[in-house]
């Protein structure tokens, strides 16, 4: 093993350790193959790997992850979205930032569309790059978020920061927000009515930023953005498509006065009252919420697998020292 290959392999293992993965069972041959893939050498060996060819896109100061096989919606594989346009200019970033501020100031901060407003300290709109390639979407603010007015700043937020760093990014390079903008009492899961009332703000945030990838953290975010009733365990590990709504769903009365729980096309109330665009779809990767990982640390490896699929698809790489 050359010194360069050793350094790359060590950097990859340090990245996994950063995310809490401290044992990687593999043979020496597998380790060498992995190192060659990340180094972009040994094309013959990489081409015979189950993960396919080494990605051709290499960011400055980074080593690309292997490009996964091209796949349709719901596949684990896939290539970056065809025809990636250059990221917006500074003028576009300023325009997006202004549009986000107008949305926050004129609609979100004074929102009283559901009962959550009565117990909030302040709304938590979201923060990050207004031209981010990736948006992370959680379910709702917690105690620290409600106190500070910022998304993901509590213990779960600290773990999310580690996840983002492990991807070779910083929080300032992505956008972070939640489905609902007010803290549910006792950090409970937002109700269907609360999500229906607040999700238009989320859809508008996504429309303004126009990310290349959405990472849905936890079941409420995944179910809301995919309009499905599937569990997060069944959704994670493969790409889906986010279709922005053309018209927002309306809460309809039922015998109990509640909108049925799940959020999905299988629910008559939602499918009958909302229309979804079949164009302008955005790839979406569902994965477990950081708060869940704090309670179930053994599942960190599954989330890291999901993030690596995103990294491969987007041409992100593990940054090398120096």
Q: Where are the domains of the chain?
A: 3-54, 90-311
Class of 90-311 in CATH = alpha beta
Query: According to the model, what pLDDT value does residue 54 have?
Result: 27
Query: According to the model, what pLDDT value does residue 13 have?
Result: 67
- Higher-pLDDT residue of 177 and 73 is 177
Concatenating the DSSP letter of every residue in 203-219 gives HHHHHHH--SEEEEESH
106 confidence band (pLDDT: 50, 70, 90): very high
Beta bridge partners, 240, equal 284
Q: Considering the chain, what is the average pLDDT of its residues?
A: 76
Most confident stretch, 68-72, 75-79, 233-237, 315-319: 233-237
Tell me the C-alpha to C-alpha distance, in Å, between residue 28 and each of 9, 32, 39, 40, 96: 12, 6, 16, 18, 49
CB-CB contact of 192 with 259 (8 Å) = yes
Query: According to the model, what pLDDT value does residue 91 have?
Result: 72
Query: According to the model, what pLDDT value does residue 273 have?
Result: 44
Two structure tokens written together for 91: 């003028």
CB-CB contact of 175 with 135 (8 Å) = yes
Residue 51 confidence (pLDDT) above 50: no
DSSP reduced 3-state for 64: strand
The least confident of 129-133, 246-250, 256-260 is 256-260
The least confident of 16-20, 98-102, 226-230, 272-276 is 272-276
Q: Tokens 């009733």 label which residue?
A: 229
Two structure tokens written together for 164: 């983002």
User: 228: alpha, beta or left, given left = phi > 0 and alpha = psi -120 to 50?
Assistant: beta
Query: According to the model, what pLDDT value does residue 251 have?
Result: 43
Residue 312 confidence (pLDDT) above 60: yes
């Amino acid at each position: 093993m050359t010194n360069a290959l050793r350094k790359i392999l060590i950097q990859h293992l340090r990245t996994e350790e950063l995310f809490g993965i401290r044992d990687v069972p593999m043979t020496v041959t597998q380790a060498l193959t992995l190192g060659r893939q990340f180094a972009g050498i040994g094309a013959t060996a990489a081409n015979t790997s189950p993960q396919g060819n080494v990605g051709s896109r290499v960011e400055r100061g980074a080593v690309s992850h292997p490009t996964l096989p091209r796949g349709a919606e719901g596949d684990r594989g896939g290539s970056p979205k065809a025809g990636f346009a250059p990221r917006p200019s500074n003028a576009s970033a300023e325009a997006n930032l202004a549009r986000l501020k107008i949305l926050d100031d004129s609609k979100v901060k004074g929102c009283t569309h559901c009962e959550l407003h009565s117990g909030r300290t302040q709304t938590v709109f979201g923060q990050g790059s207004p031209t981010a390639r990736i948006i992370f979407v959680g379910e709702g603010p917690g105690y620290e978020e409600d106190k500070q007015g910022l998304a993901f700043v509590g213990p779960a937020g600290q773990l999310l920061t580690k996840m983002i760093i492990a991807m070779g990014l910083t929080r300032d390079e992505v956008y972070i927000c939640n489905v609902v903008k007010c803290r549910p009492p006792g950090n409970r899961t937002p109700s269907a009515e609360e999500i229906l009332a607040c999700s238009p703000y989320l859809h508008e945030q996504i429309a303004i930023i126009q990310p290349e990838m959405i990472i849905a953290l936890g079941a409420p975010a995944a179910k809301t953005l995919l309009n499905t009733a599937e569990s997060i365990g069944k959704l994670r590990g493969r790409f889906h498509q986010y279709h922005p709504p053309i018209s927002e769903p309306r809460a309809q009365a039922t015998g109990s006065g509640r909108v049925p729980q799940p959020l999905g096309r299988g629910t008559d109330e939602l499918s009958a009252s909302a229309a979804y665009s079949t164009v302008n779809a955005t790839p979406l990767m569902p994965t477990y919420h950081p708060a869940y990982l704090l309670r179930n640390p053994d599942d960190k490896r599954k989330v890291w697998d999901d993030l690596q699929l995103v990294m491969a698809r987007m041409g992100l790489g593990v940054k090398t020292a120096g």
